[in-house]
Structure 1
Amino acid sequence: MKNLPQIAGGVAGAAVGFAATLLIVELVGSGNRADPIGSALLAVFVFAPAGAIAGLVLGTKLAMRMRGGENTGSLAGNSLRAFGALILLCAAAGTAYYVYAVTTATPWLNPNAATPLLQFEVRLPAGAALPASAADVAIELQTDQNSMPGAPRFNQFRRDGERPVIAGDVELAFRTAHRQLEVKIKGQPARVYRIGLTAKAPHAAQLGPWQPNADGSEIRYRAKWPGRD
């Protein structure tokens, strides 16, 4: 395709123009500081696209100049071809991400997907009381997208020397890396544990190592996917 270098130059110029415009807006501090969300939307949907178009034309022109006498087509025609290629690339990238998101999503996003569980154990500080029943324990998984009640597993409560150990599980219904587990035991202060799993939460065959908490307790956990041990 004789126009391919010009098209490639235009697409590359658009990408550079988009990124450079956002950087300039950030460095200059353009926008209303009292409304940072509105300013960000203005930068992403107005300034940056304008910069991308300018970069596309400049990139196409530069590619045509580098080719010299081997050029085919006008600047306007090659710029339009580059713009069309850019739209196709953006559409392909968006489609690919959508397919990935749907095929790997957990059930609340994809009803046909399996629901992974966060299985965990909490080892309380020495001297803490072991809960008398599951009703004395409230568990909640908190994320940037939802909160989910968990289920204590009273038959797995035990003592590890002088330290009580409680166990439970909760569904990982959304794909996000921002998770924390809140554990409330009757008569004790609430405890919050950071869950260091990736967004997709891959299956693990066993519980991970104990991780210390600020109050002297510890937690260990794993993601368990249905049909896998």
Structure 2
Amino acid sequence: MVRTAIPIRATNPDMRLILGLLSALLGALAGWFALAALVIALAGPDRDGGIAMGAFFDIGPIGGVVGLIAGIWLFVRFGLVRNATPQPPAETSDTTPHRTTRLSAPFALTVLLIAAILGYWGWYELIRSPYLSHGYMTLHIEFRLPAGMTLPDKAEDVHIEVEEATRYANADLPPNWRAHEGERKAIIASTSLSYKTRHRAVSLTLPGSPTQSWPIDLPSDPDPTPGFSPWRVAGDPSPAKIEMHFRLSADH
């Protein structure tokens, strides 16, 4: 008995090419970001952003290659389905009927949905933007120590951390960071804000004192403030009743 090979031809070659490229691209993006996110999650808190940069640019491409291969395999495996009824041969042809393939509607809809979600994310990041409308803004912070409490001798002993959404940054101490208000000692610092968020906080750690934290009460996309906010004590219970107030200014 002679066996004849049945050639497989895909309908809608243009759509097949588009869906194949989208599947490969989405697989590469998914693998890239998934591996980078896994590394960041396993590494723990990233105070200066170095871990995130290394995970995204150094390790992420490995996941991108794996995701690219996986995307192509998924398209070939699930994106194309074989028609149950063979295509009838042409009248002038004596070849056997061709069994064609077609695009899988569920697979195509899934790929297009994921592409639409990523397109929205790109619009949000690049057009709507999570960054402040005023660009980089400077948060001026002042801490007022209780009467009788002395300042550290070195700036290295003062640790001020500002939390903005899920990001952390150390505040800068100017050369004249040691200040006073009457007989009470004070600390002057500043840092940059750049992201839209309703969650902002500042913490102060001094030698011999527990860390104290204050919320930064600002809108998600704030304007510069006309002056300093009222003095307020930390929300954390502490015998050292250090007070904090702040002012926000635009850098341009």
Taking structure 2 as the reference length, the TM-score comes to 0.45
Who wins on radius of gyration, i.e. which is larger? 2
